[in-house]
Chains A and B, each alone.
Chain A
Amino acid sequence: MTQPIQLDAVDHKIIEHLRRHGRASNQQIAEGLGLTATTVSSRIKRMEEANMLRVVAVSDFSAHGFNFLMRVMVEVDGRPASQVAHDLAQIPEVFATHLVTGRYDIDMLVALHGLEDLSSLLLEKFSKVRGIRSLVPSIVVDIVKYQFDVAPIEARS
């Protein structure tokens, strides 16, 4: 496990800059914040090594041909919900899986190329997962806001 590190005001300023301009050079960031390029470089490296920061390209669903998004709420029966959630997370079309409180046990987001993929998803993939009592889908018809710059960060391989 990587040890968490304490971030100071300089780190937060660098993060804010990177949120807006992820590919800015160390020199450009340094000039904007009154630092040296070496400081910027070592600060970014330190945060990345502690698995606290990743500077990445985020791609639109449509870039991958995913034109059909669904939220699916899952009711579990006769099996621990975490096991069911782990099985569901193995399915490539499922891009988010959360164990949740409330009426349902698992909340997930599914991305499909089109409606025609639905039958194989249901009949060949979801149906192989034991412990699903019911699936309650909602079709996403419009995304008004989608702002996630906080996420679980996995260690680099």
Chain B
Amino acid sequence: MADVQIDELDLQLIELLSRDARVSNRKVASELGVTEGTVRGRIKRLQQDGLIAFTAITSFGMAKNSRLAFISIQADVDRVREIAHEISGLPMINAVMITMGQFNILAVCLISELDQLVETASDRILGIPGVHHVETSIAVKTIKYNARMAKITSRGVVEDDGD
């Protein structure tokens, strides 16, 4: 994170591609007033540096598991990383963060039925040695969510040219 090299052109490119990633390099180049080669090179570098990734986002409505829920966890501090990794491998878990605060792990999951949340939180997570307490809450309504910004964990997957 320390030495992220990003300039104004990179940010303009990111903004454009975050609206629609399937525009051709030619169109991007003409919109930004640069050459296709520049666009291609910039995209490649941003991907290699793990700063952008291209993906398909589908709407909540069509997903089988569309109910977002938060599981807040208190776990042994000296095993928190191991425990977080173990939780990240469980089904339906979409995000796991190690936090400092009232809880030391936050797990976010997408479920379809309430009993899946109980099973994940109260059985599987609470059953992990070193986990002492879990609290669940269900997102009843999402007021704001920016899916275009994320933690990119798969670094350097370079894709096609978009020609």
Contacts and interface: CB of A to CB of B under 8 A. Distances in A.
Q: Counting chain A CB atoms within 10 Å of each CB, which of B11, B96, B101, B161 scores highest?
A: B101
Interface stretch (A62-70, A116-124, A125-133): A62-70
Contacts of B87: 144
A102 B100 CA distance: 20
A102 B140 contact: no
Interface residues of A, number: 68
Interface string B6-46: 10001100100111111000000000000000000000001
Q: How large is the interface on B (under 10, 10 to 19, 20 to 34, 35 or more residues)?
A: 35 or more
A56 interface: yes
Contacts of B143: 82, 85-86, 88-89, 97-99
A42 interface: no
Given A7-B62, A63-B46, A56 B20 contact: yes
A52 B60 CA distance: 8
A137 B101 CA distance: 7
Contact of B149 (A51, A64, A140, A153): A64
A153 to B, nearest CB: 4
Interface in A68-84: 69, 71, 82
A65 B160 CA distance: 27
Interface string A27-51: 0100000000000000010000001
B75 interface: no
A147 B95 CA distance: 6
B53 interface: yes
A24 B24 CA distance: 10
Contacts of A22: 21-22, 53-56, 159
Contacts of A62: 1, 4, 51
Nearest to B66: A150
A51 B55 CA distance: 15
A138 B59 contact: no
A146 to B, nearest CB: 4
A149 B55 contact: yes
A67 B2 CA distance: 9
A99 B84 CA distance: 25
A151 B162 contact: no
Contacts of B52: 57-60, 63
Contacts of B10: 63
Interface string B66-78: 1010100000000
Interface string B82-102: 001101100001111111111
Contact of A100 (B6, B63, B137): B137
B101 A4 contact: no
B93 A58 contact: no
